[in-house]
Amino acid sequence: MTRLPKDKRRAFLWRTAFWLVLGISVTLVATGRMHWLGAGLAVLVPLVKGFFTLGLRALPFLNILSRLKTTPSQFRTQSLLVEVNFASRQMDGEILDGKFAGRRLSELSNTELSELSDALKTDDRESFVLLQAYLLRNGQAGEQHQQDNYQSANFSELSAEEAFKILGLEVDASKEDIIKAHKRLMQRLHPDRGGSDYLAAKINAAKDKLV
């Protein structure tokens, strides 16, 4: 046994102890010297220790998984509330105003999306640009146009609550969390990676609001 590696030697000792405790417990129960309940508890001790050890070993892996979990980012305008879910790689949203109010973008036909786009282009420019970002992100033919040069100044009325939702963070997130979320979003929603100038500008505005 001394030739075994340290981890295998430890596992061997625990197995030996388990079977030894089990054998002694069965013998004591059979001879009437121990109640069956006490024997069961004695056998459970090594098992509990084993599960506890496995839990400690799995803890770093669980921490990594929790870091990978991301909250959808929300972009809200007068007429649209759009979410980007990075786990499913989908972008969808709810229409807040107008003829299609209360419906999801994914529920609209191409004809209806075109009608919505025309209405927003006239009455709500920011929502129109967000809709084009949705269409492009989902592989649909968004209107080819010169996007407005959105800068952080255009979002001066952005609230802290909305900024946290854009970055997919809770309101108690730290400065470090904000910076990391901003970097992650810019990598995923940058215009060169299927995003848009509008989304990038709003992400930057959210970080500027909170940092």
Tell me which of 11-15, 105-109, 156-160 is least confident: 11-15
Task: Give the residue carrying structure tokens 């800068």.
Answer: 151
Co-location of 84 and 188 in the same domain: yes
Co-location of 20 and 52 in the same domain: yes
In a domain, 1, yes or no: no
Position 47 pLDDT exceeds 60? no
How far apart are alpha carbons 38 and 44 in whole angstroms? 10
Into how many domains does the chain fold? 2
Residues whose CB falls within 8 Å of the CB of residue 170, separated by 6 or more in sequence, listed in order: 71, 164
Domain that holds residue 201: 73-210
Co-location of 84 and 102 in the same domain: yes
Does the model's pTM come out above 0.75? no
Co-location of 83 and 183 in the same domain: yes
Give the residue from 50, 68, 86 where a domain finishes: 68
Position 109 pLDDT exceeds 60? yes
Mean pLDDT for 7-31 is: 65
Residue 159 sits in a domain whose CATH number is 1.10.287.110
Confidence at residue 186, expressed as pLDDT on a 0 to 100 scale: 87
Percentage of the chain modeled with pLDDT above 70: 56
Co-location of 144 and 198 in the same domain: yes
Mean pLDDT for 113-138 is: 89
Q: In the structure, what pLDDT confidence band is assigned to residue 115 with cuts at 50, 70 and 90?
A: very high
Give the residue from 68, 93, 117 where a domain finishes: 68
Tell me which of 23-32, 43-52, 197-206 is least confident: 43-52
Co-location of 37 and 87 in the same domain: no
Position 160 pLDDT exceeds 80? yes
Confidence at residue 192, expressed as pLDDT on a 0 to 100 scale: 65
Co-location of 174 and 91 in the same domain: yes
